[in-house]
């Protein structure tokens, strides 16, 4: 079961890293647009649409990555005081009752949106550039599918935690600065 968990995590971490490059593209396009608009007085017709698509892609594809890294916001004032087995029980119930129905809806309706968009080769109505957006809308059901897959991985983690009384190790990628500082303070 651990190998399946790590395979799913690896996929979502790899995809999250790949889409993380959207930040660089987004930053460069904003800087370029500001320069040509205010210095050269020659704004582009494509930059706004590109920025919206890069931000949207980053937002959608960061969800599975954040779930794989256990980085989503959690109100855990009481939860963290509970034994691991109870945490796992709560998590699996919440995944079944709330997470999976929401992600299935994201996938299902995202599929409908994307397929309609592909059928009539949808373009942006925001600018005269008429940028194609149907390929971008494909990310909606893809993000839903990846979140469902990662949710299954999280449920497997819960099952292991209920059996063993400890959470399985996660594959580490990036760490928050505060976590690094806390670990350094702990080791000092």
Query: What is the per-residue pLDDT for 8?
Result: 93
Q: Is residue 174 part of a domain?
A: no
DSSP string, 84-121: HHHHHHHHHHHIIIIIHHHHHHHHHHHHHHHHHHHHTT
Q: Highest mean pLDDT: which of 29-38, 100-109, 124-133?
A: 100-109
Q: Is residue 132 part of a domain?
A: yes
Q: Print the domain residue range for 27.
A: 2-168
- Taking 80 as the threshold, does the pLDDT of residue 141 lie above it? yes
- Taking 90 as the threshold, does the pLDDT of residue 175 lie above it? no
CB-based burial label for 65 (10 Å; 0-12, 13-18, 19+): buried
Q: Is residue 182 part of a domain?
A: no
Please tell me the pTM assigned to this model.
Answer: 0.85
- Taking 80 as the threshold, does the pLDDT of residue 129 lie above it? no
Instruction: Report the 10 Å Cβ neighbour count for 175.
Output: 12
| Interatomic CA distance for residues 17 and 38, integer angstroms | 33
């Amino acid at each position: 079961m651990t190998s399946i968990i790590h395979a799913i995590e690896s996929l979502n971490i790899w995809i999250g890293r790949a889409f993380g490059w959207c930040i660089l593209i987004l930053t460069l396009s904003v800087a370029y647009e500001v320069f040509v608009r205010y210095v050269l007085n020659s704004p582009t017709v494509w930059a706004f649409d590109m920025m919206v698509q890069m931000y949207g892609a980053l937002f959608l594809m960061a969800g599975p990555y954040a779930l794989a890294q256990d980085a989503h916001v959690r109100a855990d004032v009481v939860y963290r005081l509970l034994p691991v087995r109870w945490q796992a029980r709560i998590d699996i119930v919440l995944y079944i009752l709330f997470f999976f129905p929401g992600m299935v809806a994201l996938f299902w309706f995202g599929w409908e949106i994307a397929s309609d968009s592909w059928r009539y080769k949808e373009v942006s109505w925001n600018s005269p550039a008429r940028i194609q957006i149907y390929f971008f809308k494909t990310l909606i059901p893809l993000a839903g599918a990846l979140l469902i897959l990662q949710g299954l991985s999280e449920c497997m983690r819960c099952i292991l935690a209920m059996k063993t009384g400890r959470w399985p190790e996660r594959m580490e990628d990036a760490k928050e600065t505060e976590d690094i500082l806390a670990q350094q303070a702990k080791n000092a």
